[in-house]
Chains A and B, each alone.
Chain A
């Protein structure tokens, strides 16, 4: 125990700065890091500041001036007149079923690939892995055509289907690797007790996989919610658009009215920011899941 603890401390200080210099060098380091962080986030602060002002105020007094007044008019304008509220609702209507679909289906395929020995196991696994890296462009036109011929063009279902299908690869990859870490004895015991494979999957493997699925869900929520490409390809009605594509419409309407544009952009970000704030741990786990191997 003690050795492990000391080792930890040693490595930390050597990886960073040695213990003596650490205390002395602390102040400039923090000043530097704080400055760097602020500069890093300046674009976001700029957008936030702009969204409370009027364009007249900015053009008249310049960006670096004390705002003549702060108000929420731009947010109200973006929410109702530019219909960001409506776009956000569409984003949820597309994202939540996609999430459910991809997690359910990939848990099935991951279970098959993690638990059974069969000839096609590895080839299918590699197919899923390869699929995660496909450029969307190679699927775009055939999916557009398929959607059209199925009568799904300009429906939310079209987006739900492509998101579910495309993310299947990544979800299967992550879940399969997670499920392989579950010790096989549990399942042998269950089988001896007379459980069939479906019950083992449903009552044992799924509950055990919940941590991985939570991380995946958080990450995938952000990905699907933030999709822009498929939304502009498979939808034609503005009223059906998710918020990413809706922002493009908003930009077209408010060409130089930056306060409304930035207010809309910030509103569009709220759901993913909320998810990030509350499920940050899962989000970071999700990001590193794919590279864990």
Chain B
């Protein structure tokens, strides 16, 4: 029977045959999540690229197509430049300070000690605070007149204490410090988990070979922690590119604290220049893409080895 039909109308059965050979079960499981993911994540990403080439104001049904005009404007936009510089500063601090501090703390707390658990909890507890809460708490600490730091400085006799968030040269660093304060605990947790997986026999072998503590750290522990370090660096980069909440809450981007995410928000939702905002978002996306690509390449490599 089957051969009969296939000789009368060849293309359809071959096609049907192939369809039948595909196992549809995984696609049934994937249908719902994938549909949601495409509509809310994948399609919007692509649509943003289109919007960045228009003059959309948030209301017009069909905006005018501008090509790369928005991007050209970005080159001469001083605030964009300021935001880019601030993101780079944020990134530079994030991949150095919390990483080193977090690793240091992880090495300390990896040893058995009395009350070690409480020390650990203290350092990672800022992680459960939302960024707006952290922003408010730190804004109060930095408050120029009655705030914690300046009351202390005045108390010990400092004549003109800095204005912190009110000081245009200091403000961005104050915000980054608050962000780093939260990040340290995160990095510490990741390194602690990494240290737990360090094979004790390797460490013992190094000791038998006469390695001192510095050599042990430099040539054994650190290389073994390399995968964690990669994750930490990628997370730090992605987080510093996403930086928005603290700036929005603490200075709203004033005092020379603009960052790309907040500038994009202001252009799109305060000035209704959504096309221009989309262009800023695309730049942010392209920068992230370098690191997403790197991380993905690593995942693919691991996956193929598996």
Contact = CB atoms under 8 A, between A and B. Distances in A.
A complexed with B: yes
Interface of A: 7-8, 10-17, 30, 33, 37, 40-44, 46-47, 50, 58-59, 62-64, 105-106, 108-109, 111-113, 115-116, 118, 121-122, 124-131, 133-146, 161-162, 164-166, 168-169, 172, 197, 201, 222, 225-226, 228-229, 232-233, 243-245, 247-248, 251, 258, 261-262, 265-266, 268-269, 272-273, 275-276, 280, 283-284, 287-288, 290-293
Q: Closest 10 A-B residue pairs measured CB to CB?
A: A16-B111, A226-B130, A165-B40, A142-B44, A112-B29, A116-B26, A63-B151, A288-B193, A112-B26, A142-B47
Contacts of B155: 62, 64
* Interface bin, chain B: 35 or more
Nearest to A197: B25
A41 B51 CA distance: 44
A41 B133 contact: no
Given A116-B26, A293-B299, 9 more contacts: A11-B200, A16-B110, A41-B122, A46-B140, A124-B34, A126-B296, A141-B277, A144-B58, A169-B41
> Could you tell me the dominant secondary structure of chain A's interface residues?
helix
B48 A141 contact: yes
Interface string B125-166: 111111111001110110101111001101100000000000
Nearest to B29: A112
A137 B264 CA distance: 8
B213 interface: yes
11 contacts: A7-B201, A62-B146, A125-B303, A135-B281, A139-B40, A142-B47, A146-B40, A168-B33, A222-B127, A269-B129, A291-B194
B189 A140 contact: no
Interface stretch (B2-10, B71-79, B91-99, B237-245): B237-245
A211 to B, nearest CB: 16
A233 B143 CA distance: 28
B80 interface: no
Interface of B: 22-23, 25-27, 29-30, 32-34, 36-37, 39-45, 47-48, 51, 56, 58, 107-108, 110-112, 114-115, 118-119, 121-133, 136-138, 140-141, 143, 145-148, 151-152, 154-155, 181, 186, 189-190, 193-195, 198, 200-201, 203-204, 207, 213, 216, 221, 228, 231, 234, 238, 241-242, 244-245, 248-249, 260-261, 264-265, 268-269, 274, 277-278, 280-282, 284-285, 288, 291-292, 295-296, 299-300, 302-303
A121 to B, nearest CB: 7
B261 A135 contact: yes
B128 A233 contact: no
B285 A137 contact: yes
A161 B32 CA distance: 13
Contact of B242 (A13, A135, A166): A135
A162 B130 contact: no
B51 A165 contact: no
Given A258-B143, A291-B231, A165 B108 contact: no
Nearest to A13: B111
Contact of B123 (A16, A37, A141, A248): A37
Most chain A beta carbons < 10 A, residue from B118, B119, B138, B181 = B119
Nearest to A275: B128
Given A50-B140, A133-B288, A165-B40, A116 B119 contact: no
B25 A43 contact: no
A129 to B, nearest CB: 6
A178 B26 CA distance: 17
Nearest to B288: A135
A59 B282 CA distance: 46
Given A63-B151, A262-B140, A229 B244 contact: yes
A33 B108 CA distance: 10
A176 B126 CA distance: 29
A228 B136 CA distance: 13
A30 B114 CA distance: 9
Contacts of B241: 135
A55 B227 CA distance: 49
A197 B24 CA distance: 11
